[in-house]
């Protein structure tokens, strides 16, 4: 399975290597660099690269390439999924998955990698188990450790590893028992020039933060489960109950986790919360163009639209933009050719507008294509699909927990 | 050079520092040093010099320090083999540590040290760990199997034995790892899977995600060899009709019988389906490929939605999933058509994802949706990513050839693109137009003319070459323009690219043949230019063309055919997908992604024409029954691990509905397996006219009239069971470790290696406590046509193999003529190892003879069946062992007994209360009844009312402890063993025996 792992930064330095079987020289990464050079952009590097003796499967995440070396047949998704788990684990342990964080905690990283794989086959990838084996670094603990000489390594086998509930550790205790659920929905839509929907779908996730003592058994039910078209669950959810009763029944992991992600059928019409009037044109004569974008609310169900950001990928010939915004501020990066207009809260009375001229490279032919607009926004306390949590029941423990549900809608276009 | 020296000095000094720190007495200093060493390793710097200093700390108490030392050891042991051996004895000790975490990590490190000398030690450690009580340690053992195999492939046979054993493991922890080992070591030993197939299917839901992936892909291969195809084949009968002979007619009649899916095949599909909802993309993909390769065609559609869901995951995941969808969409358009919009390209996608989406859209295009697809393509052509725009044009070309209605529309659209400002777009359009025109040139001479006009403005060589070729090929359609183009080419010949020059030469030749009047001189000129070109290809081509078309005195033979050679009608190119025949690789594999066979790729076999025997997957009924009773008996709560058998994601004492659902699933699977075996038996009885003798010692237990011999409790002198033969080993070690300073210490370490049996206090006694004389009938004299056979368990350790049980067979000839050559011919039951007796040459009438044979029952009460043959005839017979005979007595002290019992709590314990009638108490000493029924050893007991017995299973060596506590009117009976099934069966038998009067 996974033979070795190299972590490479954007500059092409291999800053960490780990081998689970015999050592493979880091010169194998030359093939990767070759592919990287050919691809021009990090996103375009092919995830699977063949070399004469090995196969390189890599992911690019948080400006780090995770390059794994494979020698024999293995499902590529297996490796890719695992590498993403590694990245998530770093994120979980160190707050962010950056080169600096990894370099600072190289010993813990090494201990983690050692526990996560044995002979290239995943051993413990569940965050709860790993945290019992290897304690995450905190300032307090590192101080205590340096004084008392105690270690970051757990002394016993985590109970989760052996039980049938591997995602939860035993003996959890909280003074305040709380369970929070965030229903986050994203609209993913493509609109054409005139504003008609080409494609729209709603994807949602339910992220949970559960801090409950003991071994609680939770049941979460929805008012309208029929809305959900396609779902995927955290392993803790009992699939049989979902199939028969459409309720989520589970023993939660401790802490933050993603309970389920779902898809709402695209066939029922998706209400797009905002509308856009845009006019971007380039003049045939002279090296200039005009830009005019207006945003307005539409079907927001009485909620305010927040964090509105408009991103425009300009054609390569656009040198600079001279614009005025009635609300928020804009930046234009002439290197990446990206125009970002950060509006903030959408004002119902006075619609935000961005207007002005674009200066083009002189002599260059006018771009034949109008740039596409990406709009990100957020609506608090609203799940655009109308999904509602009905109730949350707890069995197995006696105390009364505090429960909370939050709805958020996001849009990417 | 100076700086390099300086650098070396620095590293040297640093290493000195570290060495000092490592050798200091302060723990914190050592830890700090180790952390720095690990930092060096992580950066890829060489820290091997520190090996001696580091290895000294291997036995340190501090767990973190120890772990870091392990990390170091695993990294450098291969380079420093001699020194690495110093650490081995520490691991040996740790392997017996009461803490399972330490046992497991010791095994992990020991097996990761790639030093060939320790192969035998690793082998022993693995064997031992494979029967460890902790499933975590057993999992580690499964991993170690692969490591040892990669170190020394000669150990394969032994390792397969361990794999076989671990495959039977019921823990969800072990399942994934052992299947991985199976795939690595012996993927062709499909026979090992048979009996575990149903268990694996039922466990699948509860196995950890990574194990699921491995198991599913293994089961896919398995199913392809064991079940018949669920895909109805159309047309195959037509082909056959011509050749059909009588025999084949019968065969095809059989084939046309309505297809009924094997229940096991259905079980696999049913138990994998919920995994489509997994959050792990690899699991979803592996279920998808399983359905694609195994499910009936109409059921495959359920995977679509899940695959489309994966497209919202990371970029890399999208890439792989899209590739697989591309392959699928060629064969089954309908599957993904409703989701076509999910494959629309976004401006933020990476180029390779865009091209894959394009590929899929092209595959999905049909008459109904082509207009939407083309509209989408139109926006792509304008994309700033020119490589992608070019790919789009090719896709349009493919759509145009596939759907004949739109060919004209596409052509016109492409011609419009010819005036595009971007060169690559134009070039690509020209190339595609050329391919399209080839299909129907006569109708499109205006397009050719248009292209000829554009020729001056096009600079991309490939496009220019394409236009030249087109004009040359269809010069008769454009008689006026062609010579003019040639004239222009003659002017610019020097500055053209090679590919254009070659086409110019071809054009000249073609024009010379069709229109020699106008072009003769031009052709001569171009041929002269080509003759002196720098490129040898062009010179060659020119020479060849000249010989071909210009008539000369000598070789005129070919020039007659020149026209037919050059202007032959050429077949139109087929524009097809790059994913056309990718389906020869199993979906989801690395080989599929690369489109070439990766090392270690296991071919997916074709469906077998006839279904192989289904019965091989049957697990004995007795086991199934006992399992169900166990499941109901258990009141230990969720932690005892029964819940994992229930095939659902239980694992908690949750609501009652949960329980009932798991029970339902249990009974469900039970009934299906029952019905299987039922039909199976019926089938056998129909199929085989040969007589079958079934002996059921279970029932006959009750009828035992036991003749008790004086109990023979023998305390044999303690015999060390040395698993590692030191005599064999030490000389080898000496020769290999040449360093004279080291070898003594190494040797002394190696002496510590002799692994004693799992616990030194437990000894297997050689002779049984008691041997019942009861015999069972193997073959009745009536059915055996004079030959009668009886068998008897001698309770002696088998001389052939430690894992076998010796059985004495007594043959007697009751007929009136001599029987010759009595022997065992074929062993029909799989999985059991039988050591046959040597054939009896002849048996006179009224005589009898006794022989002994060995059978390895694998610790199950499944009958060993075989065919007993004489010279003339064969009889199917079977030996069914009583559960008590699967044991070997062991002696141990009372303390050891309670210690071992303490380890076997929870699900390993089964107990019952027996009501004893007064007569039954007085009739016989209790322990006699027990030893009569089962081959156990008596543990000396301090209390009068407590009787303890100990034994181990012959095949696996697992301990079986029996404890009877007598009370006034009854007794409390407890059986502790790791093999819960054996335990519960033994319990029931003992219950019956003890509650009986006589």
pLDDT in tens, B560-612: 777 777 777 777 666 667 777 777 888 888 888 888 888 888 888 888 887 77
Which residues, 6+ apart, have CB-to-CB distance to B400 below 8 Å?
B406, B407, B410, B411, B436
Which residues, 6+ apart, have CB-to-CB distance to B362 below 8 Å?
B373, B395, B398, B399, B577
Is B317 close to A46, i.e. CB distance below 8 A?
Answer: no
Is B114 close to A48, i.e. CB distance below 8 A?
Answer: no
| DSSP code of residue B85 | G
Between CA B193 and CA B784 the distance in angstroms is 35
Provide the CB-side half-sphere exposure for B239 (13 A, CA). Answer: 4
Q: Which residues of B781-803 are buried (b: 16+ CB within 10 A; e: fewer)?
A: eeebebbbbbbbbebbbbebbeb
Q: Searching chain A, which residue's CA lies closest to the CA of residue B353?
A: A44
Contact B326, B577 (CB under 8 A): yes
Between CA B716 and CA B722 the distance in angstroms is 17
Please give the span between the terminal C-alpha atoms of chain B, in angstroms, as a whole number: 97
Structure tokens at B6: 């300086």
CA distance A299 to chain B (A): 24
Contact B447, B411 (CB under 8 A): yes
Structure tokens at A243: 């199939």
* pLDDT on residue B112: 86
DSSP H helices, B812-855, are none
Between CA B666 and CA B976 the distance in angstroms is 24
Contact B975, B960 (CB under 8 A): yes
> Which of B302, B642, B649 best probes binding to A when mutated, by most A CB atoms within 10 angstroms?
B649
Between CA B656 and CA B643 the distance in angstroms is 14
The 10s digit of each residue's pLDDT in A165-187 is 667 776 778 888 888 888 888 88
Is B282 close to A17, i.e. CB distance below 8 A?
Answer: no
Which region holds residue B440: left if phi is over 0, alpha if psi is between -120 and 50, else beta? beta
Chain A residues touching B591 at Cβ < 8 A: 73
From the list B64, B101, B112, the residue facing A157 with the nearest CB is: B101
Q: Please provide residue B779's backbone torsions phi and psi, each rounded to the nearest 5 degrees.
A: -145, 125
CA distance B88 to chain A (A): 19
From the list A157, A164, A201, the residue facing B643 with the nearest CB is: A164
Sign of torsion over alpha carbons A8, A9, A12, A14:
negative
Chain B residues touching A374 at Cβ < 8 A: 348
Q: Please provide residue B707's backbone torsions phi and psi, each rounded to the nearest 5 degrees.
A: -105, 115
Mean pLDDT of A395-401: 74
Chain B residues touching A132 at Cβ < 8 A: none
Structure tokens at B888: 């070997």
From the list B64, B71, B599, the residue facing A71 with the nearest CB is: B599
- How high is the ipTM of this complex? 0.87
Contact B701, B772 (CB under 8 A): no
Q: Does A302 touch chain B (CB under 8 A)?
A: no
* pLDDT on residue A144: 57
* pLDDT on residue B732: 38
Is B282 close to A81, i.e. CB distance below 8 A?
Answer: yes
Is A1 close to B71, i.e. CB distance below 8 A?
Answer: no
Residues of chain B with pLDDT below 70 are: 1-13, 232-258, 421, 440-443, 551-559, 572-576, 619-769, 773, 799, 826-831, 917-924, 997-998
Instruction: Tell me if residue B710 falls in helix, strand or coil.
Output: coil
Share of chain A above pLDDT 70, in %: 86
Q: Which residues of A257-268 are buried (b: 16+ CB within 10 A; e: fewer)?
A: bebbbbbbebee
* pLDDT on residue B728: 40
Q: Please provide residue A325's backbone torsions phi and psi, each rounded to the nearest 5 degrees.
A: -110, 135
Interface A–B counts its CB contacts (< 8 A) at 262
Q: CB count, 10 Å around CB of B115?
A: 18
Provide the CB-side half-sphere exposure for B564 (13 A, CA). Answer: 5
> Which of A29, A36, A73, A233 best probes binding to B when mutated, by most B CB atoms within 10 angstroms?
A73
Provide the CB-side half-sphere exposure for B104 (13 A, CA). Answer: 23
Between CA A96 and CA A303 the distance in angstroms is 33
| DSSP code of residue B747 | H
Between CA B602 and CA B591 the distance in angstroms is 10
Between CA B43 and CA A103 the distance in angstroms is 10
Determine the number of helices (DSSP H) and then strands (DSSP E) in chain B.
42, 17
CA distances from B817 to B64, B238, B811, B867, B868 (A): 79, 58, 14, 21, 18
Q: Please provide residue B546's backbone torsions phi and psi, each rounded to the nearest 5 degrees.
A: -60, -50
The 10s digit of each residue's pLDDT in A54-109 is 999 999 988 899 999 998 888 999 999 999 999 988 988 888 888 888 888 888 89
Chain A residues touching B588 at Cβ < 8 A: 75-77
β-partners of residue B865 are B878
Chain B residues touching A239 at Cβ < 8 A: 205, 274, 277, 649
From the list A80, A163, A244, the residue facing B317 with the nearest CB is: A80
Instruction: Tell me if residue A318 falls in helix, strand or coil.
Output: strand
* pLDDT on residue B599: 82
Provide the CB-side half-sphere exposure for B288 (13 A, CA). Answer: 30
Instruction: Tell me if residue B693 falls in helix, strand or coil.
Output: strand
Is A73 close to B600, i.e. CB distance below 8 A?
Answer: yes
CA distance A373 to chain B (A): 10
Between CA A154 and CA A338 the distance in angstroms is 48
Is B651 close to A251, i.e. CB distance below 8 A?
Answer: yes
Edge-first strand listing for the sheet containing A217-222: A247-250, A217-222, A389-395
Between CA B937 and CA B23 the distance in angstroms is 52
Q: At what angle do helices B481-492 and B516-531 cross, to 10 degrees?
A: 20
Q: Does A151 touch chain B (CB under 8 A)?
A: yes
> Which of B279, B303, B591 best probes binding to A when mutated, by most A CB atoms within 10 angstroms?
B279
* pLDDT on residue A177: 83
Q: Does A107 touch chain B (CB under 8 A)?
A: yes
* pLDDT on residue B682: 44
Q: CB count, 10 Å around CB of B259?
A: 12
């Amino acid at each position: 399975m996974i033979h070795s792992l190299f972590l490479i930064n954007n500059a092409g330095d291999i800053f960490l290597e780990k081998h689970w079987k015999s050592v493979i020289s880091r010169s194998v990464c030359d093939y990767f660099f070759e592919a990287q050079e050919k691809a021009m952009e990090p996103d375009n590097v092919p995830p699977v690269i063949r070399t004469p003796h090995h196969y390189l499967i890599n992911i690019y995440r948080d400006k780090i390439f995770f390059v794994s070396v494979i020698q024999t047949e293995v499902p590529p998704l297996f490796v890719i999924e695992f590498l993403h788990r590694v990245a998530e684990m770093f994120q979980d342990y160190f707050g962010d998955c950056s080169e600096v964080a990894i370099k600072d905690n190289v010993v813990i990283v090494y201990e983690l990698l050692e526990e996560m794989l044995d002979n290239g086959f995943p051993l413990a990838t569940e965050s709860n188990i790993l945290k019992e084996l290897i304690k995450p670094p905190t300032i307090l603990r590192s101080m205590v450790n340096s004084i008392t000489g105690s270690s970051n390594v757990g002394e016993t086998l985590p109970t989760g590893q052996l039980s049938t509930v591997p995602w939860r550790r035993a003996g959890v205790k909280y003074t305040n028992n709380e369970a929070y659920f965030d229903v986050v929905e994203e609209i993913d839509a493509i609109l054409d020039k005139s504003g008609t929907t080409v494609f729209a779908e709603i994807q949602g996730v339910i992220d949970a933060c559960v801090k409950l003592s003991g071994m609680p058994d939770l049941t979460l039910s929805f008012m309208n489960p029929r809305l959900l078209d396609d779902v995927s669950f955290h392993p803790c959810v009992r699939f049989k109950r979902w199939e028969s009763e459409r309720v989520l029944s589970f023993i939660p992991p401790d802490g933050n986790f993603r309970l389920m992600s779902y898809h709402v059928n695209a066939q029922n019409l998706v209400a797009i919360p905002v509308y856009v009037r845009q006019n971007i044109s380039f003049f045939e004569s002279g090296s200039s163009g005009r830009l005019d974008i207006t945003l307005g609310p539409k079907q927001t169900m009485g909620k305010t639209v927040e964090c509105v950001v408009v991103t425009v990928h300009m054609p390569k010939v656009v040198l600079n933009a001279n614009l005025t915004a009635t609300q928020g501020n804009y930046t234009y990066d002439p290197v990446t050719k990206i125009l970002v207009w950060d509006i903030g809260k959408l004002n119902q009375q006075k619609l935000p507008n961005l207007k002005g001229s674009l200066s083009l490279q002189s002599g260059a032919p006018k771009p034949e294509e109008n740039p596409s607009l990406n709009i990100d926004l957020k609506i608090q306390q609203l799940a655009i699909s109308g999904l509602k949590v009905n109730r949350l029941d707890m069995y197995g423990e006696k105390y009364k927990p505090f429960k909370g549900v939050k709805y958020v809608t996001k849009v990417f276009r | 050079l100076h700086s390099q020296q300086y650098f070396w000095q620095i590293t040297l000094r640093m290493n000195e520092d570290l060495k000092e720190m490592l050798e200091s007495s302060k723990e914190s200093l050592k830890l700090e040093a180790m952390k720095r060493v690990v930092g060096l390793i992580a950066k890829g710097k060489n820290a091997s010099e520190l090996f001696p200093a580091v290895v000294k700390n291997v036995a340190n108490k501090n767990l973190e320090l120890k772990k870091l030392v392990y990390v170091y050891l695993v990294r450098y042991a291969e380079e420093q083999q001699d020194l690495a051996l110093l650490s081995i004895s520490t691991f040996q000790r740790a392997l017996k540590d009461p803490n399972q975490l330490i046992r497991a990590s010791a095994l992990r490190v020991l097996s990761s040290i790639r030093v060939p000398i320790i192969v035998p030690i690793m082998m022993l450690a693995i064997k031992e760990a494979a029967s460890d009580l902790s499933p975590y340690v057993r999992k580690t053992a499964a991993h170690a199997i692969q490591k040892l195999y990669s170190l020394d492939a000669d150990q394969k046979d032994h390792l397969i034995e361990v794999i076989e054993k671990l495959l039977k493991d019921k823990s969800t922890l072990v399942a994934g790892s052992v299947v991985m080992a199976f795939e690595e070591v012996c993927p062709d030993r499909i026979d090992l899977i048979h009996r575990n197939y149903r268990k694996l299917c039922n466990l699948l839901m509860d196995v950890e995600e990574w194990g699921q992936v491995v198991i599913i892909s293994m089961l896919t291969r398995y199913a392809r060899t064991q079940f018949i195809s669920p895909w109805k084949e159309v047309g195959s009968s037509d082909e056959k009709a011509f050749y059909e002979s009588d025999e084949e007619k019968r065969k095809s009649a059989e084939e046309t019988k309505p297809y009924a899916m094997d229940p096991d095949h259905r079980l696999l599909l049913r138990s994998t389906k919920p995994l489509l909802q997994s959050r792990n993309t690899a699991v979803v993909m592996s279920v998808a490929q399983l359905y694609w390769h195994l499910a009936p065609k109409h059921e495959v559609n359920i995977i679509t939605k899940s695959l489309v869901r994966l497209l919202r995951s990371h970029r890399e995941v999208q890439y792989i999933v899209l590739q697989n969808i591309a392959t699928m969409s060629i064969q089954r358009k309908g599957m993904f058509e409703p989701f076509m919009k999910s494959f629309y390209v976004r401006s933020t996608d990476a180029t390779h994802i865009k091209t894959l989406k394009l590929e899929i859209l092209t595959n999905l295009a049909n008459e109904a949706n082509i207009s939407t697809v083309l509209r989408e393509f139109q926006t792509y052509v304008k994309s700033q990513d020119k490589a992608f725009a070019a790919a789009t044009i090719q896709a349009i070309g493919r759509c145009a050839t596939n759907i004949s209605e739109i060919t004209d529309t596409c052509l016109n659209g492409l011609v419009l693109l010819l005036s595009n400002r971007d060169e690559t777009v134009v070039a690509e359009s020209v190339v595609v137009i050329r391919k399209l025109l080839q299909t129907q040139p006569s109708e499109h001479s205006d397009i050719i003319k248009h292209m000829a006009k554009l020729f001056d403005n096009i600079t991309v060589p490939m496009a220019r070459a394409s236009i030249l070729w087109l004009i040359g090929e269809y010069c008769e359609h454009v008689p006026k323009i062609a010579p003019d183009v040639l004239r222009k080419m003659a002017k610019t010949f020097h500055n053209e690219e090679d590919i254009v020059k070659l086409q110019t030469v071809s054009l000249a030749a073609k024009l010379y043949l069709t229109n020699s009047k106008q072009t003769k001189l031009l052709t001569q000129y171009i041929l002269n230019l080509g003759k002196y070109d720098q490129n040898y290809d062009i010179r060659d081509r020119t020479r060849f063309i000249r010989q071909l078309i210009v008539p000369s005195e000598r070789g005129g033979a070919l020039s007659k055919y020149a026209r037919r050679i050059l202007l032959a009608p050429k077949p139109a190119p087929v524009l097809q997908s790059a994913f056309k025949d990718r389906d020869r690789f199993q979906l989801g594999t690395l080989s599929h992604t690369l489109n070439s066979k990766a090392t270690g790729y296991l071919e997916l076999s074709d469906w077998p024409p006839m279904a192989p025997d289904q019965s091989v997957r049957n697990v004995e009924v007795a086991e199934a029954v006992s399992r169900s009773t166990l499941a109901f008996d258990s009141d230990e709560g969720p932690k005892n691990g029964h819940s994992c058998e229930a095939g659902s994601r239980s694992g908690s004492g949750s609501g009652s509905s949960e329980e009932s659902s798991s029970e339902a699933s249990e009974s469900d699977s039970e009934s299906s397996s029952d019905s299987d075996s039922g039909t199976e038996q019926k089938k056998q009885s129909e199929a085989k006219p040969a007589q079958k003798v079934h002996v059921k010692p279970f029932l006959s237990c009750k009828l035992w009239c036991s003749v008790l011999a004086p109990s023979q409790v023998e305390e044999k002198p303690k015999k060390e069971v040395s698993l590692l033969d030191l005599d064999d080993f030490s000389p080898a070690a000496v020769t290999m470790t040449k360093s004279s300073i080291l070898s003594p210490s190494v040797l002394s370490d190696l002496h510590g290696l002799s692994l004693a049996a799992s616990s030194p206090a437990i000894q297997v006694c050689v002779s049984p406590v008691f041997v019942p004389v009861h015999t069972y009938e193997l073959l009745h004299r009536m059915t055996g046509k004079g030959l009668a056979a009886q068998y008897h368990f001698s309770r002696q350790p088998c001389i052939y193999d430690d894992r076998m049980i010796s059985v004495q067979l007594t043959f007697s000839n009751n007929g009136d003529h001599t029987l010759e050559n009595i022997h065992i011919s074929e062993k029909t039951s799989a999985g059991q190892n039988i050591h046959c007796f040597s054939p009896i040459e002849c048996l006179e009438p009224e005589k009898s003879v006794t022989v002994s044979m060995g059978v390895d029952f694998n610790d199950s009460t499944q009958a060993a069946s075989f065919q007993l043959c004489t010279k003339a005839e064969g009889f199917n017979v079977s030996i069914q062992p009583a559960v008590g005979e699967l044991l070997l007595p062991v002696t141990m002290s009372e303390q050891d007994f309670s210690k071992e019992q303490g380890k076997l709590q929870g699900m390993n314990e089964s107990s019952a209360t027996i009501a004893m009638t007064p007569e039954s108490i007085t009739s016989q000493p209790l322990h006699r009844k027990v030893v009569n029924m089962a081959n156990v050893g008596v543990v000396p007991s301090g209390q009068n009312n407590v009787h303890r017995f100990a034994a181990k299973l012959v095949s696996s060596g697992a301990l079986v402890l029996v404890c009877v506590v007598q009370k006034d009117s009854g007794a409390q009976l407890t059986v502790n063993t790791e093999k819960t099934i054996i335990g519960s069966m033994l319990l029931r038998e003992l219950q019956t025996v003890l509650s009986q009067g006589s």
